[in-house]
């Protein structure tokens, strides 16, 4: 092999190695992975359970029972629940269930505690009577305790509808 051929061969081999090294170059970049999560709350899934005082004699007093609201709020989301005065609220501190004739009423009160010392209402802020909680990311059962001080009313069925408002 002559020098010229050997030199050409060497140049070709060197060029092949340089091309292989050029193919091995790298470049980098970075990017963000993002999500924005908003707080959400529901108070209707599953549906609330009624405060049903059942069937009692007209002589019954301090009839107590409980229902529940089911709240599902994003984890660590603060919320409050207010209860309005119902459809048949009149004068005085108690709500009323209305009978079939429309004129007959049975007074009752709703409470946040089993001892019936913390009335439930719709006033927020200092001295308010709304329920305050913090979401857990799953359904939380919030009891609603009710008391009928006296069932001394005409025989019949009585009903009221109370609206619960969840604020978060």
**Over 60: is that where the pLDDT of 8 sits?**
no
3-state secondary structure of 4: helix
**Residue 2 pLDDT grade (very low, low, confident, very high; cuts 50, 70, 90):** low
- Please provide the average confidence, as pLDDT, over all residues in the chain: 88
Give 23's pLDDT tier (boundaries 50, 70, 90): confident
DSSP letters, 17-80, are HHHHHHHT----------------EES-SSPPBP----S--TT-EEEEEEEEEEEEE-TT-EEE
Residue 24: pLDDT band (50, 70, 90) is confident
pLDDT at 125: 79
Which domains are assigned to the chain?
41-167 (2.60.40.1090)
The model scores a pTM over 0.75: yes
pLDDT of residue 3: 57
Which pLDDT band, with edges at 50, 70 and 90, does 114 fall under?
very high
pLDDT surpassing 60 at residue 47:
yes
Selected residue with higher pLDDT from 45 and 157:
157
Mean pLDDT of 42-58: 93
Q: Which residue has the higher pLDDT, 6 or 25?
A: 25
């Amino acid at each position: 092999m002559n020098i010229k051929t050997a030199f050409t061969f060497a140049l070709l081999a060197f060029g092949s190695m340089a091309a292989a090294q050029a193919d091995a170059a790298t470049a980098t970049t970075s990017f963000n992975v993002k999500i924005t999560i908003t707080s959400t709350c529901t108070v209707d899934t599953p549906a609330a359970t009624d405060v049903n005082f059942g069937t009692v004699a007209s002589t019954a007093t301090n009839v107590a029972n409980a229902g529940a609201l089911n709240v599902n709020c994003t984890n660590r989301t603060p919320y409050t629940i207010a209860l309005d005065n119902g459809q048949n609220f009149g004068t005085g501190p108690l709500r009323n269930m209305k009978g079939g004739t429309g004129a007959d009423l049975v007074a009752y009160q709703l409470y946040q505690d089993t001892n019936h010392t913390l009335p439930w209402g719709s006033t927020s802020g200092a001295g308010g009577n709304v329920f305050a909680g913090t979401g857990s990311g799953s359904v939380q059962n919030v009891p609603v305790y009710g008391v009928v001080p006296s069932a001394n009313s005409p025989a019949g069925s009585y009903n009221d509808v109370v609206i619960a408002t969840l604020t978060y």
